Structure 1
């Protein structure tokens, strides 16, 4: 797919403006002026928009596109502020080490705004089966073992997803996008009907009835809201890399093994490549990053294949459960597909990022709302982080469409509260379950290993329970 290209035009007295197909106006840093139709006639210093979104990552850009794509909101004037510089996308033979596992509902969202067809035109990989197992016992669980359901997830590179959504956004003439927009100050409404105000480091100011913070874990919008934010560091890092499989295979399975040091997972890319996400302590991560490629591959194969000592009490408990399930004519779930071995890593793809938990007690206040990592942050062991953010997008667009249809102000907290309630009902249980799994699998004491092993094996033996887990992981419902 061709890189993003733009038509350059001269902007009065201040450099140039990049415009995609004369639709979505893209303003490059320190070189933009705003169209007269977006000026607030009551102020010479402050430009007015119906909605301002801070943060032009995957979630923020998708939100801008989804808002502009909604038939009720399509005429609302939207400003998207991105602090980073514009990056032109070009397809590379080499896969990026930054990928996301999108669930069915996220794919539906991307399809609804026309971005999924652009991803399909380049590349993505469906996950048709998942196998998760415990290194300290024989317990395991598989999802979609018979491949009867649609794909469990879709592996897409971050930069490709952002490019696909940005291309769709370029067709929306109601959206202005500013790159290099460093936010210096945020002022929120103090009285009903008042605008939120955003000031950039270069002095530009924007007023809006609704400010949406999609500005990540260290969200300035969230800090300005003054809401309680519960957060902790796991003292772990997630190592990512693109790895080469020992032999070609029909690579459609996501593998995850829970080790005492943290989970290690492989996500399919091609018949010979997979994407690695390996959670280890910060100290161990630094050590692994310093190893030679051969030493790193040996350590990775150990993580997937090393046989750990089994406690007698755990083995006895698992045997007893197996006999019970057999007596009840239930599938015991011990049919194991062997995971692949690794022969190498793609040069330059090894990296690591810190892992932590974070959740804002409130996502909204009058005239302001949070989405994505600005509102919540989770451990990557379940691959749900970005899907929670896209779920926020779908819910917020629906609520704002309802508000507009009913003649309410977009920043009306009564409507925003509906968004907060619906998303917290989904996000909080999901996040707490992920955190509990992380803590449960860190334990190595026999009673803990036995309890989690029995729970995993029982879940695997009851297909309705597994289906319920899968459905919750893909659920973006807003009511």
Structure 2
């Protein structure tokens, strides 16, 4: 028995030594594996740079995103890169002439730009605040105005896109220790990691540049516009349609200096026309109309083009259905120069006129202090040199804003009709919220490209963007017809909304975010 026990102990000792030896060999193998992986990563990083975040697209939204990330204290130490295919947009002093591409910047977006340090630059260059909006219908007498109770408060600001980008670029230069920028850099290919089976060769998003260089990033942010290559290459579906309309934009010279603090918009059967203040003597035109009419407007000589603008804004109808020119009836030598759809009385109907008048009277009895006085916009005397530009209009919305290690923002995620002036504001809202979730992820030591917090960004922004886009699209469609039932419907809607200040305040609050 003793001999058997000794033999058993000897066998157990051998087994333990074998297990220990195997464990030691395993540990050494693991250490070799880690060292090999570390060497591979260092080698890979030296040849193909690894960034925590790469932003593709350096327009207004992309540059704002770079500034926002670079200023966040929780993201300090992260490697951030902005890629821009165009040249660096600097502006030592503003040009004498205004640009045709402008944006209406809401108070919420202005607050974001102020927090980024760019708003002071914008104010020192140029921007024009306005404190009132007047919208009215060409097919009825209905109108609605939005203004602040305190007329000193600003509803929004009209700013040239180039000024916004230049201000953000100037601020980005102060963040060179936190954000790297590569201008005139074109991306030719994106390679995506598998979300569940991470390849050893491509654990991150791979960005291949036209110069042959390859970059890696833990999170790619696509801010590359409505024709986004990031969205397309990531396979993100997009719901989109064209409106069969074009927008004619131009810089307008007013007949005389004015306070010019009102944004004007009139819905014509062919589409909305808007006049936005740039200064006391200039305004910006955005005229949405059919492709054919847009081309006709481009071909007009300057005098005829100015006549068409003035007629579109100021042509009113008497109760008898005849048009007249308030205050300046002799402004045009011949009505034949005006587009027939603008000056004929086919856009009005006696039914709509009578019903609208009765409804307006009833509202004034029920709410005597409601409603707004009708104002006429300033007349236009000329246009800026070579300022007429046309571009097609459409709507698009990405069904997803994120994929594994990818997020899209701005026009890459959503494109809207310009009638509400919300395109840039939706993009700046994306910037603010994506920065928030990435900052929290970094604070918690999480992977910046993980789906958990990216899903939070997508949910919150779609919850805000979709209702706004749906409302803009519905408004565009509702006002694209002169059918009497729909004209009557929108007449009642405008008049009722105009008579309810609390409802208007809710609309303004939502749009100002």
Identify whether the pair has TM-score above 0.5, normalized to the shorter chain.
Answer: yes
> RMSD over aligned Cα, in angstroms?
1.5
Q: Which residue of 2 aligns with 1:300?
A: 309
Q: Is the 8 A contact 2:441 2:447 kept in 1?
A: yes
Q: Is the 8 A contact 2:205 2:219 kept in 1?
A: yes
Q: Is the 8 A contact 2:146 2:504 kept in 1?
A: yes
User: Number of paired residues?
Assistant: 437
- From 242, 256, 276, the equivalent of 1:247 is 256
- From 259, 265, 280, the equivalent of 1:256 is 265
Question: Aligned partners of 1:343 and 1:148: how far apart in 2?
Answer: 28
- From 109, 112, 129, the equivalent of 2:112 is 109
Unaligned runs of 5+ in 2: 1-39, 317-343
Q: 78-87 or 355-364, which moves further after superposition?
A: 78-87
1:332 Cα shift?
Answer: 4.9
Q: Which residue of 2 aligns with 1:274?
A: 283
Q: Is the 8 A contact 1:142 1:460 kept in 2?
A: yes
Structure number with bigger Rg: 2
Q: Which residue of 2 aligns with 1:74?
A: 76
1:152 Cα shift?
Answer: 0.8
Question: Aligned partners of 2:145 and 2:459: how far apart in 1?
Answer: 32
Question: Aligned partners of 1:395 and 1:388: how far apart in 2?
Answer: 11
1:320 aligns with 2:358: yes
Question: Mapping of 1:53-72 within 5 angstroms?
Answer: 53-72=55-74
1:100 Cα shift?
Answer: 0.8
Q: Which residue of 1 aligns with 2:377?
A: 339
Question: Mapping of 1:14-413 within 5 angstroms?
Answer: 41-43=42-44, 44-89=46-91, 90-144=93-147, 146-148=149-151, 150-172=153-175, 173-192=177-196, 194-307=203-316, 309=345, 310-413=348-451
| Deviation by residue 1:182-219 (Cα, 9 ceiling, x = unmatched) | 11101122135631111011111110110000011111
Q: Which residue of 2 aligns with 1:4?
A: none
Q: 450-459 or 173-182, which moves further after superposition?
A: 173-182
Question: Aligned partners of 1:329 and 1:467: how far apart in 2?
Answer: 17
Q: Is the 8 A contact 2:89 2:166 kept in 1?
A: no
User: Structure 1-normalised TM-score?
Assistant: 0.89
| Deviation by residue 1:336-392 (Cα, 9 ceiling, x = unmatched) | 011111111011111111111000000001100000000000000000001000000
Question: Aligned partners of 2:224 and 2:148: how far apart in 1?
Answer: 38
Q: 366-375 or 146-155, which moves further after superposition?
A: 146-155
In proportion to residue count, which structure has more helix? 2
Q: Is the 8 A contact 1:52 1:211 kept in 2?
A: yes
Question: Aligned partners of 1:70 and 1:145: how far apart in 2?
Answer: 33
Kindly report structure 1 stretches of 4+ aligned residues shifted beyond 6 Å.
none
Q: 274-283 or 300-309, which moves further after superposition?
A: 300-309
Q: Which residue of 1 aligns with 2:465?
A: 427
Question: Aligned partners of 2:41 and 2:304: how far apart in 1?
Answer: 61
Q: Is the 8 A contact 1:212 1:368 kept in 2?
A: yes
Q: Is the 8 A contact 1:332 1:457 kept in 2?
A: no
Q: Is the 8 A contact 2:89 2:169 kept in 1?
A: no
1:237 Cα shift?
Answer: 1.1
